[in-house]
Amino acid sequence: MKLQITVLMLALGCLLRAQEHGSIAGNPFSTPKDVAAGAASFRSQCAACHGAEAVGGTVAPSLVSGTFKHGGSDEALFAVITKGVPGTPMVGFKLNGTEVWQLIAYLRSMNIAKAAGQATGDAAAGARVYEANHCANCHTIGATGGYSGPDLSEIGSHRSLPQIESSILDPDIQVEPDYWSVKARTKSGQDVTGRRMNEDMDSIQIREPQGHLRSLRKADLASFEIVRKSPMPSFKGKLSATDLQNLIAYLASQRAIEGEGAK
């Protein structure tokens, strides 16, 4: 009973975070052990139709592209696995919640592992797109870049191609709390902005655009708000189709060094 309550609380926490951000906050069962369990479930339940490596079979599509016809969110995948798709060979599977999450974790790992190899763009040309659009003002790759956006040095090890594309075209779709920002005005009239680093009852700590850390006493502020949107503008309509695919290929090529382990 205690284990069931713990699992329920984990799932509820995930759903609450998803509602708060307007997007999937994360699979509660996504450790390497969960991925291995999901792989075993896939081999026994899914491989006959989707192929042993999830690349597709005679009656079922590939699952390694990261693009899913019936929705790519974790909720959509959960529904397809448990309820099936009417009018297709895909039937619902009677798996418990943990097993479904583990299967989703395995599919995500396959999407990400194969992302760089499936990218249709030119990574070298994408590096030039990255530079021309001043992405390094906010993002870091290697030892170079800014601090107001996520470090992209290993993004190819953590995101599928559709996730990378979505982050470029619709950056507000998922903004982790670590990248919420703060807009404040001191009682002396100074406007202050920065990335929210920490907050307690009496103060809020931010990293200013120049990279400086600063602590603000709430008693000294006339106003402040936490902005849960991404500071990054959408590039929808601002990049040609070719430039977009090249940029995706470049970001997908930024991967963890083999042997050091992906985060």
248/156 Cα distance (integer angstroms) = 9
Shared fold status for 2-113 and 181-227: no
pLDDT given at position 163: 80
pLDDT given at position 107: 86
Most confident of 72-81, 95-104, 174-183: 95-104
Are the CB atoms for 168 and 183 separated by under 8 Å?
no
Most confident of 44-58, 133-147, 157-171: 133-147
Q: Domain 181-227: which topology?
A: SH3 type barrels. (2.30.30)
Q: Domain 123-174+237-252: which topology?
A: Cytochrome Bc1 Complex; Chain D, domain 2 (1.10.760)
Q: Work out the mean pLDDT of the chain and round it to a whole number.
A: 82
Q: Which residue has the higher pLDDT, 93 or 26?
A: 93
- Residue ranges per structural domain of the chain: 2-113, 123-174+237-252, 181-227
pLDDT given at position 56: 78
3-state secondary structure at position 31 = coil
State the average pLDDT over residues 12-32.
Answer: 52
pLDDT given at position 115: 67
- Given a cut of 50, whether residue 263 has pLDDT beyond it is no
Q: Quote the tokens at residue 152.
A: 């992209």
Are the CB atoms for 173 and 233 separated by under 8 Å?
no
State the average pLDDT over residues 95-113.
Answer: 85
Contacting residues for 29 by C-beta, under 8 A, at least 6 apart: 10, 98, 101, 102, 105
Most confident of 81-85, 88-92, 175-179, 234-238: 234-238
260/198 Cα distance (integer angstroms) = 29
**Count of CA atoms in the C-beta half-sphere (13 A) of 1:** 0
Dihedral pair phi/psi, residue 213, rounded to 5°: -85, 140
CATH of domain 2-113: 1.10.760.10
Band of residue 258 on the pLDDT scale cut at 50, 70, 90: low
- Given a cut of 80, whether residue 66 has pLDDT beyond it is no
**Least reliable range by pLDDT among 30-44, 67-81, 118-132, 193-207:** 67-81
